[in-house]
């Protein structure tokens, strides 16, 4: 009986012991949750690489075997410094085999692509109103050119349905970024029957389907849109409507091209409270057009900030750096200058200076008027 009582007393004493009475090394501690730091990816985008005949017919380029790399030398360092760099390749790279053509039905030397790669671009868009200028063959020859170019993502065109339905994704530091592109049309050239895959056209139903497909595979989505009204410095109602539609679908960034002049950079709030960066137009990056205001383009830059803990994204550090499309008299010595390096001395030698205002201040005034206070301007 005494033994049973002793056991009961021992149990009571043990039950009365609190966790604070136990040795510290006897307590099993739950590990603190690991908080991962945000991942920051710097993007850069430029506008239309519009290859007129005056560019590839320039005697110095013919003499050096179509080496166009000097054109981009003044902006190359800036492009290569970005984690991901986008360019709108306005004209198809069907190459000399198809016969080089200029406005209005373009076909460009493939060596332009070599210069684009050398400059440091990672994402090349081909969904433009000139996609079908040299027909299906032009699309095929362009894609064949890009086939063996490592680390280049091409959007907007395809050779078949399988290729058209293959997601374009860049994985940077473990963040998967989906890339898609569309154009408003193809200058009235009909897409061949049964071959809609050749070029992505702006269509809300198609865009929604593509975006929903990418959401399961990516952490962020960027969309290239060839849209808007040529030579208008303001976005159209249609552009604003499409931008809102894509913001409601959760797209992070929209890169706009086609108007050949700059348009505003804005933030659009989606239906779920998300913010979408909308770059309505980046103007001409390179062309042989002959109006001073069309010589103004720009480099848009932003940081995609990804939170690996809750898988959310945000856009920070948005800036716009104006660029000037330069050529001397008789369409010689093509070069792209960041505006900080474009002096009035250079302006006086521009091929348009004899008849039009090409001063640095002229371009600064346009940028200030178009961009406003919503984005940092780098002069």
Q: Average pLDDT of 19-37?
A: 64
Counted domains in the chain: 1
- Strands 175-183 and 220-226, how do they pair? parallel
- Give domain status of residue 25, yes or no: no
pLDDT (0 to 100) of residue 4: 45
pLDDT score of 170 more than 60? yes
Number of H helices, E strands in the chain: 11, 15
Domain containing residue 301: 40-377
| Contact criterion met (CB below 8 Å) for 109 and 102 | no
Would you say residue 25 has pLDDT above 80?
Answer: no
- Which pair of tokens denotes residue 351? 């091929």
Distance CA 218, CA 179 (A): 10
Cα separations (Å) of 86 from 2, 44, 223, 334? 87, 6, 11, 21
30 falls in which pLDDT band (50, 70, 90)?
A: low
In the chain, the percentage of residues whose pLDDT exceeds 70 is 91
∠ at Cα 186 (227, 278), nearest 5°?
A: 15
User: Quick one: pLDDT at residue 297?
Assistant: 98
User: In whole angstroms, how far apart are CA 191 and each of 166, 187, 224?
Assistant: 20, 11, 20
Residue 101 lies in a domain: yes
Per-residue DSSP letters for 4-44? HHHHHHHHHHHHT--GGGS-GGGS-PPPPPP-PPPEEEEEE
Is pLDDT larger for residue 146 or for residue 2?
A: 146
238 contact partners, CB below 8 Å, separation of at least 6: 227
Confidence bin at 372 (pLDDT 50/70/90): confident
Q: Does residue 169 surpass a pLDDT of 50?
A: yes
Q: Tell me the average pLDDT across 97-113.
A: 98
Structure tokens at 222: 């960027």
Give Cα separations from 116 to 152, 199, 217 (angstroms): 10, 21, 28
Which one is predicted more confidently, 372 or 262? 262
- CB atoms under 10 Å from CB of 160, counted, come to 12
Interatomic CA distance for residues 37 and 35, integer angstroms? 7
- Report yes or no on 83 lying in a domain: yes
**pLDDT of 280 above 50:** yes
pLDDT digits 0-9 by tens, 318-363: 999 999 999 999 999 999 999 999 999 999 999 999 999 999 999 9
**pLDDT (average), residues 126-132:** 98
Radius of gyration of the chain (CA): 27
Q: What is the CATH number of the domain that holds 55?
A: 3.60.21.10
> What pTM, to 2 d.p., does this model score?
0.91
Residue 34 lies in a domain: no
Q: What is the pLDDT of residue 374?
A: 76
Within a domain: residue 105? yes
C-alpha to C-alpha distance for 227 and 300, rounded to whole angstroms: 17
- Low-confidence winner among 21-35, 113-127, 136-150, 267-281 (lowest mean pLDDT): 21-35
Give the Cα separation of 114 and 67 in Å (integer).
Answer: 8
Q: How many CB atoms lie within 10 A of CB 122?
A: 20
Select the more confidently predicted residue: 27 or 165.
165
User: Given pLDDT bands bounded at 50, 70 and 90, which one contains residue 113?
Assistant: very high
**How far are the Cα atoms of 22, 75, 134 from residue 155, in angstroms, in the given order?**
64, 23, 18
Q: How many residues does the chain have?
A: 379
Asked if residue 91 lies in contact with residue 104, where contact means CB atoms within 8 angstroms, the answer is: no
Enter the tokens of residue 37.
């730091």
Mean pLDDT of the chain: 93
Structure token digits, residue 6: 């002793």
């Amino acid at each position: 009986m005494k033994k049973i009582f002793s056991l009961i007393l021992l149990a009571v004493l043990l039950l009365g012991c609190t966790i604070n009475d136990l040795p510290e090394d006897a307590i099993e501690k739950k590990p603190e949750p690991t908080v991962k730091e945000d991942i920051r990816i710097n993007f850069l985008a430029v506008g239309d690489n519009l290859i007129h005949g005056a560019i590839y017919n320039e005697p110095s380029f013919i003499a050096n075997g179509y080496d166009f790399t000097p054109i981009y030398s003044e902006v190359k360092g800036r492009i290569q410094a970005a984690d991901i760099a986008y360019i709108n390749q306005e004209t198809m790279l069907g190459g000399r085999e198809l016969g080089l053509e200029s406005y209005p039905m373009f076909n460009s030397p493939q060596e332009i692509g070599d210069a684009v790669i050398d400059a440091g671009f990672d994402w090349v868009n081909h969904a433009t109103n000139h996609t079908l200028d040299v027909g299906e063959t032009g699309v095929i020859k362009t894609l064949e050119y890009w086939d063996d170019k490592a680390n280049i993502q091409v959007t907007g065109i395809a050779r078949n349905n399988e290729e058209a339905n293959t997601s374009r994704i860049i994985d940077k530091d473990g963040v998967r970024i989906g890339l898609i592109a569309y154009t408003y049309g193809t200058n009235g050239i009909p897409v061949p029957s049964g071959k809609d895959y050749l070029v992505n056209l702006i269509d809300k139903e198609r865009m929604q389907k593509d975006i929903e497909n990418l959401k399961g595979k990516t952490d962020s989505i960027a969309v290239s849109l060839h849209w808007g009204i040529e030579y208008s410095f303001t976005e159209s109602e249609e552009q604003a409507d499409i931008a809102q539609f894509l913001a409601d679908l959760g797209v992070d960034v929209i890169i706009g091209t086609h108007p050949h002049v700059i348009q505003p950079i804005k933030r659009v709030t989606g239906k779920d409270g998300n913010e979408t960066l909308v770059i309505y137009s980046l103007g001409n990056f390179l062309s042989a057009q002959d109006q001073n205001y069309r010589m103004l383009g720009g480099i848009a830059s932003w940081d995609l900030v990804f939170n690996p803990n809750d898988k959310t994204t945000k856009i920070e550090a948005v800036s716009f750096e104006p660029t000037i499309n330069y050529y001397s008299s008789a369409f010689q010595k093509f070069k792209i200058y960041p505006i900080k390096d474009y002096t009035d001395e250079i302006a006086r030698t521009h091929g348009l200076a004899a008849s039009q205002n090409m001063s640095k201040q002229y371009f600064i005034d346009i940028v200030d008027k178009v961009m406003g206070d919503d984005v940092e301007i780098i002069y």
